[in-house]
Chains A and B, each alone.
Chain A
Amino acid sequence: MDLSFSEKDFMFREEVREFIRTEYPGDLRRKMKQGKEFAKEDFLCWQRVLYNKGWAAPSWPVEYGGTGWSATQRYIFQEELGQAATLNILPFGLKMLAPVLMAYGSDYQKGYFLPRILTGQDWWCQGYSEPGAGSDLASLRTSAVKDGDEYVVNGSKTWTSFAQWADWIFCLVRTNSMVKKQAGISFLLIDMKTPGITVRPIITIDGMHEVNEVFFDNVRVPIKNRVGEENMGWTYAKTLLSHERTGTAEVPRSKYGITSLKKNARKHISNGKSLLEDEYLSNKLAQLEIDLLALEYSDLRVLSDDFLGKKGTGAEPSILKIKGSEIQQRVTELALEITGYAGFSSLGGPLPMESNAYPTGPGFGFGAGSEYFNMRKSTIYGGSNEIQRNIIAKTVLGL
């Protein structure tokens, strides 16, 4: 047992730090500070910077443009991005679709789509959930019927994050309804510009537009855009879910969250004392930080088992996800608590880009309300925490 990083890892960390310090767009840093909304172009801008450095896809194999880093290096990279509170590159193309294409896609699909994912040329969104199929995803019903060289797709997807910006959507669709529900699902890549697709925004409780409904009305999709075999889509989608063993916990982001909580609490004066001197509040902060430490070391343990090639039970991501999401929620909860009344003012979400208004109340309070409400999502999506518990009960406990 040994906690230390190797000399090489230390140097790597320095390199990453230096890169972020010099290359992360100052514009984005300012926007974050001012609590402004991020635009599609912001995400793309940061991705291009990473791409130019060759760091856009740390977990991809080198042949496709990955970095060839060790698991520790990838961990360090994530840690540094989190600590620097850089903009989160969205996972749909890079982390969700790409591994499926690499494993099951045709040569054409790999050759055409992967480079465009890497550069950010195509924005992908994920079309899995439907109004009637959430936790029970396999019960999905959007149908794809073969007609010549095409599938004709009808139905609707929902909760589709950032569909409003997407060039493409990867969808699970039903190609056979006579068999076991898992056995009749196919994996399709659909151009969002195809006629028959409409996107309807859904405004969430934090006042933001992040998710959408996507309707398909006789949308024609070329068969060459089917990934792998027909009716095998469920298998492909499932392997994708177990791809990331660590990182689901979002430890670095929460660390940053706690650091700024402390900074803000120190600045906030109440009854002549800084909030950090308030014993209740500082206790809550300490408890949160302790829980995060436990999570961090769980994350590291999973990582280290990886090193030794030991196979875990497969449920580690579920454990990390449950704890990680709870902690993320608690961070935003405390942020709102620290903000006090000023939390009201930010219920409408971050200021629109074109706004030149200043937030009311202390600057740090800005967005606290919005973020608190927004973060309720973390225990719902990506497999709700209840579903994660079911998975653990079954796979680890044999219940």
Chain B
Amino acid sequence: MDISIAIEDVLFREEVRDFIQEHYPSYLHDKIAKSEELTKEDFLVWHRILHKKGWIAPSWPKEYGGPGWTSVQRFIFNEELSAAGAITTMPFSLTMLAPVLMQYGNEKQREYFLPRILSGEDWWCQGYSEPGAGSDLASLRMPAVRDGDDYVVNGSKTWTTFAQFADWIFCLVRTNSDGKKQMGISFLLIDMKTPGITVRPIRTLDGGYDINEVHFENVRVPIENLVGEENFGWTYAKALLSHERGGIADVARSEVAIKALRKIATTELSDGGPLIENTIFSKKIAELEIDLLALKYLELRAVFNEKSDDLGPNVSILKLKGSEVQQRIGELRLEAVGYYGFPFKYGPQTSNTAIFPVGPSYTQFAGPSYFNLRKTTIYGGSSEIQRGIVAKSVLGL
């Protein structure tokens, strides 16, 4: 047992840090600090910079344009991005779709789509969930019926993140409704510009707009956009779920967030002194930091485990604890700003007179982000589902 880091890795960390410092667009820092809404272009600006450097897809094999890093390097890279508070790169294409294409896509699909993912030319969204199929994803119903060289797709997907920006959507669709529900699902790549697709925005309780309903009405999808074999989509999608390594717990981002929280609590006052000196509040931050530390070592143990490249059920545990920590940070941030949690930047646009931020600039993010973070225990497999997985796969229950 040894928690020291190899000298190459230390140097690598330096290199990453320097690069970010030099090349990360500073206007993005401002925008995030002011909690302004991010545009598609904002994501793409940073994407292109990383692409140019050859670092946009750390987990891809070299042959497809990955940097050929070790798992430790990838971990460090992620940490540094988070520590710098950099805008996230899009997971849907880079870490969700691409591995499926590499493994199950045909030559043509790989050649066409992968470079476009790498360059950021195509923005992808994930069309899995349906109104009737959330936790029980395999019960999805959206049919794709063969008609000549096309599939005709009808139905709707929901909760689709950033569908409003997307050029393409990868969908699970039903191609057979006899037999076991997992067996009749296919994996389709659908151009969002195809006639018959409409996107309806869903506003979330925090006033934000990231998610959508996507409706399909007689949408024709060429058969060549089927990934792998018909009716095997479930297997492909599941393989993809276990691909994501490290970063699931978002430890580094949470560390940064706690640091920021401490800063807020140093500025905010309570009975004339800094809030951070309030015994109870500082104890809560301390407890949170302790939990985060435990989580960090849980993650390190999983990532640095040489015996296996598969995180297995650790993914579930990391996701569970990571999302809870994120939520608690949000909770404390809201607590820290006191009454300034009230002003609502994304409230009704009427002839109001106030200019936001109403309180200090860090306050306007506190309310919305608290409410927004409730999503983290719901999406990507809810906490209940993750516990179900651990109970089954680890405990044999």
Contacts and interface: CB of A to CB of B under 8 A. Distances in A.
A286 to B, nearest CB: 11
B62 interface: no
Interface string A190-219: 000000000000000000000000000000
Contacts of A280: 279-280, 283
A103 to B, nearest CB: 42
A383 B349 CA distance: 55
Contacts of B280: 279-280, 283
B384 to A, nearest CB: 15
Contacts of B279: 279-280
B276 to A, nearest CB: 15
Interface string A275-289: 000011001000000
A280 B281 CA distance: 11
Contacts of A279: 279-280
Contacts of B283: 280
A143 to B, nearest CB: 33
Nearest to A279: B279
Contacts of A283: 280
B335 to A, nearest CB: 15
A231 B347 CA distance: 67
A282 to B, nearest CB: 10
Nearest to B278: A279
Interface residues of B, number: 3
Interface in A327-380: none
Nearest to B279: A279
A163 B171 CA distance: 66
A155 B286 CA distance: 55
B286 to A, nearest CB: 11
Interface in B268-283: 279-280, 283
Nearest to B283: A280
A280 B279 CA distance: 8
Interface in A258-298: 279-280, 283
Nearest to A283: B280
A98 to B, nearest CB: 42
Interface in B248-295: 279-280, 283
Interface string B88-129: 000000000000000000000000000000000000000000
B288 to A, nearest CB: 15
Interface in B281-326: 283
Nearest to A278: B279
A280 B283 CA distance: 8
A93 to B, nearest CB: 41
B283 to A, nearest CB: 6
A279 B283 CA distance: 10
A45 B280 CA distance: 48
A386 to B, nearest CB: 15
Interface in A227-284: 279-280, 283
B279 to A, nearest CB: 4
A279 B280 CA distance: 8
B178 to A, nearest CB: 33
Interface string B39-78: 0000000000000000000000000000000000000000
Nearest to A280: B283
B311 to A, nearest CB: 32
A83 B279 CA distance: 33
A283 B280 CA distance: 9
A2 to B, nearest CB: 36
A280 B282 CA distance: 11
A280 B284 CA distance: 11
B285 to A, nearest CB: 14
A287 to B, nearest CB: 11
B144 to A, nearest CB: 37
A303 to B, nearest CB: 35
A399 to B, nearest CB: 15
A279 B279 CA distance: 7
B282 to A, nearest CB: 10
A140 to B, nearest CB: 26
A283 B279 CA distance: 10
A270 to B, nearest CB: 15
B287 to A, nearest CB: 11
B270 to A, nearest CB: 13
Interface string A157-182: 00000000000000000000000000
A321 B23 CA distance: 62
A157 B279 CA distance: 52
A380 to B, nearest CB: 21
Interface in B224-262: none
A64 B279 CA distance: 58
Interface in A63-87: none
A279 B284 CA distance: 13
A274 to B, nearest CB: 16
B27 to A, nearest CB: 44
A395 to B, nearest CB: 24
A288 B280 CA distance: 16
A280 B278 CA distance: 11
A165 to B, nearest CB: 41
B383 to A, nearest CB: 19
A19 B280 CA distance: 44
B273 to A, nearest CB: 14
A290 to B, nearest CB: 15
A280 B280 CA distance: 7
A275 to B, nearest CB: 14
A388 B279 CA distance: 37
A118 B339 CA distance: 61
A35 B316 CA distance: 48
A279 B281 CA distance: 11
A280 B286 CA distance: 13
Interface of A: 279-280, 283
6 tightest Cβ-Cβ pairs between the two chains A and B: A279-B279, A283-B280, A280-B283, A279-B280, A280-B279, A280-B280
Interface of B: 279-280, 283
6 contacts: A279-B279, A279-B280, A280-B279, A280-B280, A280-B283, A283-B280
